[in-house]
Amino acid sequence: MAVLSVGRICVKTRGREAGSKCVIVNVIDRSFVEVTGPKDLTGVKRRKVNVSHLTPLDKALKIRKGTSDKVVLSALRRSRLVPFMSGEKVGKRKGVAKAEEADSP
């Protein structure tokens, strides 16, 4: 089984949506895939993404190629992954540097 296949849950590592989780809905070629959040859940819009900007996770959904956001959301509910997907962004540590600066004399 390919690591980046339809239904695989990933974390975006680059761009404005970095740290957000998404689901692969279509494999375009070796370098690009189409992902969705869905936007209502994670804030990730359906778009074409370079595979080097994704980190695959160990979780996957059973969905078909090109599945709509509505079907992806229902698959997430069936798999009980909605809390996992809507959790905090991965790798984002906002305010940590400011807090460390405030502690130093």
Q: Parse the chain into domains and list their residue ranges.
A: 8-103
pLDDT at residue 91, as a whole number? 66
Give the C-alpha distances (Å, rounded to integers) separating 56 from 1, 7, 93.
13, 11, 20
Name the fold adopted by 8-103.
Answer: SH3 type barrels. (2.30.30)
Mean per-residue pLDDT for 45-71?
Answer: 94
- Whether pLDDT at 24 is above 90: yes
pLDDT at residue 3, as a whole number? 82
Burial of 71 per CB tally in 10 Å (0-12, 13-18, 19+): middle
Mean per-residue pLDDT for 55-61?
Answer: 93
- Whether pLDDT at 26 is above 60: yes
